[in-house]
Structure 1
């Protein structure tokens, strides 16, 4: 888990713009028993420009696969793919810790078009 005690060094606005964070809708979610830590495999639809991407998310404490389908989430879409067990994770699904340190997904509070960029 990342250290959340204090903010990191300052970055420029141009540095912030390098991270491409988009909204997408989860269209598939399944248990991922092959992962080293408990996780759920996600397929997220980011709209016609980006398409569908796979992600592995350690969110099993607060979510079930059945409850995730149809939910919108935010993800960084321009990080290099990362091998997670037998799956290549293509995007980093974003979350923040709850009071127990378990992941809560970051999402818009109302439906928005898939593929919209965070700004």
Structure 2
């Protein structure tokens, strides 16, 4: 594994946001949700595609805070433009477990 400097790490802008809307994404190759995430007044509301349907239903997601990379180029996923990368870790069966703060923080707060 290569190392990077702290300055390199700071180039990745990871912020917290609250999921405010979840829609099915039937056009996706793998089961996914279309998320709308409130990332605070500085960044605003952004959209993300997330392959998290095995562990999370719509009712589990709305109102949940998640960590997102906000400074990647948008990515076209079929007919959907994903504007941020919602972060997660694979569990033992390779399902994505979302990354979130252990208590509520203001939307838009930056990871450091």
Q: What TM-score, normalized to structure 1? A: 0.92
TM-align CA RMSD: 0.6
1:37-83 residue CA offsets vs partner (Å, 9 max, x unmatched): 11000000001000000000000110012210000000000000000
Structure 2 alignment gaps of length 5 or more = none
Equivalent positions of 1:1-119 (< 5 A) are: 8-119=1-112
Query: Which 4+ residue blocks in structure 1 deviate beyond 4 angstroms?
Result: none
Distance 1:78 1:28 in 2: 21
Q: TM-score, normalised by structure 2?
A: 0.98
Instruction: Report the count of equivalent residues.
Output: 112
CA shift at 1:85, angstroms? 1.1
Structure 2 equivalent of residue 3 of structure 1: none
